[in-house]
Amino acid sequence: MYKNIINTFLLISTFMFILFVTRYYFSEENYILTNKSRSLYSLNLSNTAKNLPILKNDTSNIIIYKNDLEEFNNKRKKRAWESLIEN
């Protein structure tokens, strides 16, 4: 008997919770507050982007091209059969 009462109470409370949450989520008040929040965030983002400093580009001529294959071939010990293949 008590188990049925507790189960019924839990079931009713779960349905009430879902009902209240969906009612608030789809309410006009929530739509208005959400749109205000999004527009405020957009304004703050645009103002912050306007105030950012522009940095000087200092990345020119920083890539050093190396010919590692020639260095590897020069450092590598020559094998006897390689001289046969070259000719």
Residue type, 6: I
Distance CA 15, CA 8 (A): 11
Question: For 67, how many CA atoms within 13 A lie in the half-sphere containing its CB?
Answer: 5
pTM exceeds 0.75 for this model: no
Residue by residue, DSSP assigns 19-68 as: HHHHHHHTSHHHHHHHHHHHHHHHHHHHHHHHTPPPPPP--TT------H
Express each pLDDT in 10-47 by its tens digit: 999 999 999 999 999 999 999 999 999 999 999 999 88
Highest mean pLDDT among 10-14, 38-42, 63-67, 81-85: 10-14
**Residue ranges of the domains in the chain?**
2-52+60-86
What is the DSSP-derived secondary structure letter of residue 76?
A: S
Contact 39, 46 (CB under 8 A): no
